[in-house]
Copies of this chain bind each other. A is one copy, B any other.
């Protein structure tokens, strides 16, 4: 899109990309208001400093007018473009256990343009089962099925023991990125992107905030 030159958005750090995701949640909620959105309103909702929000949004190009604020719809669109989610992403999910089923029902994925288009499991007793309108397939069919399903991303919700071999199967099948929920450190070729979700880290962050009370709230997360 014209508003965000490629070389500009490529300079986004991962920390900045994470903040943009948080801003997007708020701004999306406010698009129905039809009102102008100020950086301070975003800052308060997300819990970072006003200066940080202004710096992050300035990196998206010329948006908003001094003293008037940002148009919520225009801002949401610019953030989506910068994050690369102004398009649909098709993903397969491997590991149809409790977590896999929970993620299949997770409304947030579809709202943000992610579609889980295939389910896979290495357990033969699960293959053929129907879950949320999809039929579970064997991991061994990934090399042909990934391409047929036009899926680029893989969501890994298998136990730690099988995570490495399933990740290898996804890589061999040509996946471009893996969202890993297994509590293991995966080593992937550089061409394949990896985001590991460590749920214990979230609890640690909560414990940290409870322990340190108000002090943690006041600290800003500036780069």
A159 to B13 Cα, complex, angstroms: 33
Which of A35-43, A67-75, A140-148, A190-198 forms contacts with chain B? A190-198
User: Number of contacting residues on A, CB 8 A?
Assistant: 75
A202 at the interface (CB under 8 A from B): yes
Which of A106-114, A122-130, A163-171 forms contacts with chain B? A106-114
A215 is contacted by which of B11, B178, B179 (Cβ under 8 Å)?
B11
A2 at the interface (CB under 8 A from B): no
A134 at the interface (CB under 8 A from B): no
A202 is contacted by which of B9, B185, B197, B211 (Cβ under 8 Å)?
B197
A48 to B95 Cα, complex, angstroms: 30
A200-223 interface with B by 8 A CB criterion: 200-217, 219-223
A183 at the interface (CB under 8 A from B): yes
Residues on the B chain within 8 Å of A183, using CB: 106-108
Q: How far is the CB of A108 from chain B (nearest CB, A)?
A: 4
A179 is contacted by which of B185, B197, B206, B223 (Cβ under 8 Å)?
B206
Residues on the B chain within 8 Å of A11, using CB: 215, 219
Q: How far is the CB of A221 from chain B (nearest CB, A)?
A: 4
A180 to B190 Cα, complex, angstroms: 33
A153 to B179 Cα, complex, angstroms: 27
A residues adjacent to B (C-beta < 8 A): 9-15, 17-18, 21-22, 24-25, 29, 45, 47, 83-85, 89, 91, 97-99, 101-103, 105-109, 111-112, 114, 152-153, 155, 160, 176-179, 183, 185, 190, 193-195, 197-217, 219-223
